[in-house]
Structure 1
Amino acid sequence: MTKTHYHALTKAPSAKAPLVFALHGTGGDEHQFSELIGQILPDAGLVSPRGDVSENGALRFFRRAAEGVYDMADLARRTEKMAEFIAAHKAANPGSPVYALGYSNGANILASVVFKHAELFDRIALLHPLIPWTPDANPALSSTGVLITAGRRDPICPFAMTEGLASYFSQQGAEMQTSFHDGGHEIRQPELAALAAFLASPPQ
């Protein structure tokens, strides 16, 4: 395990406060969600890595051949790399609940990690994810809180796939929540309100 797989913005949590991983979308960076997390959970720790794949200068967390066409071999390698990075930070902060959020490409790498390594997380929020494959069943997800947000007219992430992903998590027994709006790929205020409520709610 290593905490140095990525250049990252980090902040240590206060005692018993959660450690939050924040994964940016394509073209974002480690600062994309730092202010938002500070507003929602001011005592929380933060680990916000910078994507290490460049797509015409836009930072991402894994390669793709085209919109919605993933390099699955590259995704598999980088999923394990991200899992090791998260596990190392988790081990360095014993006793802190581990939350994670990702937007777009960040949501996709986060989902890929949680499919294989559900034990790393207490809560995850996937903002506008696109998972164009059927994940394997994973009973370990039954103890994970999951929020999915999306736009019903998102041209990048077809809404039917988003609904399918939500159904998958529900079938695994995850504590599932959703927040959908009638727009596209942009993050809207109702999503942010749902995210804030999800992250700040007391542990069950």
Structure 2
Amino acid sequence: MNLAGQFSLVNSVPWLLGLGLLGLLNSSDLGSSALAQSSAQENEPNVLFRNVSLSPGFRPDPSKLHGLSGGAITASTKAGKATTETGPCNGFVDDRPDHELTLSSAFNYLNLRVRSTGDTMLLVKGPGGSWCNDNAAATPTATTTNINPAISGRWLPGTYQVWIGSKQQGEYLPYVLEITQSPVPIQP
């Protein structure tokens, strides 16, 4: 299902409506999509499955990427383990990553968080290993969780493959992946 940046939301409205994803079209995030891989994509802010390159101090912050979660492969198979330091690898992903995130240098703090109306998971593979998260804590010290995953901390320079998975196999949910340098609490 991963279309790897091959279509624009504007050109795929009938396809999205056919999947019952009208809610994605009404999202307030659609008009504020952030960084583009190339100048051509900067003029198409609603491209799904976009790849980005970031340097410390990037703007806008948060940067936002869009896509559809899910796939047919278990996230634990793709990660090479059932649990990571950041959480369990529960759910299903595509064979190919939804996004590639290239960091030009180290980040002392970077947060990737997913916003979706359904139960999603996050898998990141890159320099230093694989990390998963199923349900992020509402705040760094909270004991309650929500269905939106997040992975944060110190990040090494290099290219990271990012998958957004769904709890159920074959379930495809619209999402916004927010990338921020600000250590802000995760909101449900």
TM over 0.5: no
Structure of higher RCO (CA pairs closer than 8 Å, 6+ residues apart) = 2
Bigger share in helix: 1
Q: TM-score, normalised by structure 1?
A: 0.29
TM-score by structure 2 length?
0.31
Higher percent of residues as strand: 2
